[in-house]
Amino acid sequence: MNHYKLQMRRGILEEYSIKMKKVTELTSKAMAKSLNIEENCFLKQFGERAQHQARFNYYSRCQRPDLVLGLKPHSDGSGYTIILMDAEGLQVLKDEQWFTVPKISEALLVLMGDQMEIMTNGIFKSPVHRVVTSKEKERISVAVFYSPEVNKEIGPEDGLINEETPRLFKKLQAIKGNILKRLPG
């Protein structure tokens, strides 16, 4: 890759990161509003130095999609994850069944991670998900894992705990690199 192309790609990534910061601010506020709690409460838990880690996933075409998965079942250890994809292939597990996430053009997918499940006291679930392969099409996705700043203490929002819905999680400390929690098997 020549120098000019490299510079250009860096520029695009930098711009994407800056825009992602805005997206996570808006999304965190919108999620709090939807739960009727103080709009900045999740942003406060994520902290001013919240982590944004981007991962590029490339899934090549596969002759035996019935035998080969692109990504094994897991839930994300992030707060939440923002996914940009160029094709279908991502599936989420609900009621022991796999559902394909539709690809909506220009749309970003917000996928809850384990830490947001904790902060919402279990109201927003961190789904087990996987990626299937395809015979016809390769696939690329960009996942931005948005997580609380390192060493930040997180826990269920007080506003979501009451007599009917008791606290489900203890307070925890956010740690670095807790991106994938793989399930056994």
Ligand X SMILES: O=C(O)CCC(=O)C(=O)O
Binding site for Fe ion (CB under 5 A): 76
Those residues whose C-beta lies under 8 Å from the C-beta of residue 33, and which sit 6 or more positions away, are 39
Distance of alpha carbon 104 from alpha carbon 122, whole angstroms? 27
137 near ligand X, rule: CB under 6 A: no
As measured in angstroms, the least distance from the Cβ of 179 to ligand X is: 7
Residues present in the chain in total: 185
112 near ligand X, rule: CB under 6 A: no
Distance of alpha carbon 178 from alpha carbon 152, whole angstroms? 13
Amino acid at 53: Q
As measured in angstroms, the least distance from the Cβ of 143 to ligand X is: 4
Nearer to ligand X, 109 or 123 (CB): 109
Site for ligand X in 15-44 (CB under 6 A): none
With CB under 6 A, what is the number of residues at the site for ligand X? 11
Nearer to Fe ion, 44 or 130 (CB): 130
Distance of alpha carbon 152 from alpha carbon 65, whole angstroms? 41
Q: Which stretch binds ligand X (CB under 6 A): 11-19, 83-91, 147-155, 161-169?
A: 83-91
115 near ligand X, rule: CB under 6 A: no
SS3 110: strand
Nearer to ligand X, 4 or 58 (CB): 58
Distance of alpha carbon 175 from alpha carbon 4, whole angstroms? 37
Q: 180 with 117: CB under 8 angstroms?
A: no
The correct pick among 31, 129, 152, 157 for binding ligand X (CB under 6 A) is 129
Q: 45 with 154: CB under 8 angstroms?
A: yes
Q: Which positions touch ligand X (CB under 6 A)?
A: 55, 57, 71, 76, 83, 85, 90, 129, 131, 141, 143
